[in-house]
Amino acid sequence: MNLELQQFKADFFKALAHPLRIRILELLCEGDKNVNELQTLIGSEGSAVSQQLAVLRNKNIVYGTKDGNRVVYPLRDPMIKELLAIARQIFNNHLIDTISMLDKFNDEAE
């Protein structure tokens, strides 16, 4: 069971390991969107957005639902929003540590 869980986690984080996929997820945290909406918000070609959505769909991170002639993409699990917020906080913590280290270095240099 542990190995299966570790494999799931590895596959899950691989699916997140692309800046465009992260941006798509951040936008989907704000609400469901179709490819055209995502393309406009990101400023990227539709094919690039579609390719990244396919990766996210294949890993069951998002899913598509038909809305007339459009496919709308919601997050499969709302905890993705929390995960991205935690990742942002970890990033901020790293920045704070780096700034503190630079300040200390500058103080020692004077």
- Per-residue pLDDT of the chain (110 residues), as tens digits, is 799 999 999 999 999 999 999 999 999 999 999 999 999 999 987 799 999 999 999 999 999 999 899 999 999 999 999 999 999 999 888 888 788 777 777 777 77
Q: Determine the Cα–Cα distance for residues 70 and 37; give it in Å rounded to an integer.
A: 11
Q: What is the pTM of this model?
A: 0.83
Longest dimension (CA), the chain: 66
Vertex 81 angle, CA 3 and 66, to 5°: 95
Strand partners, 70: 67
Q: Please enumerate in sequence order all residues whose Cβ is within 8 A of that of 9, keeping only pairs 6 or more positions apart, or say none.
A: none
CA distances from 109 to 102, 103, 104, 105, 106 (A): 10, 10, 9, 6, 5
CA dist 51 and 20 (Å) reads 10
- CA-based nearest residue to 27, from 55, 62, 70, 69: 62
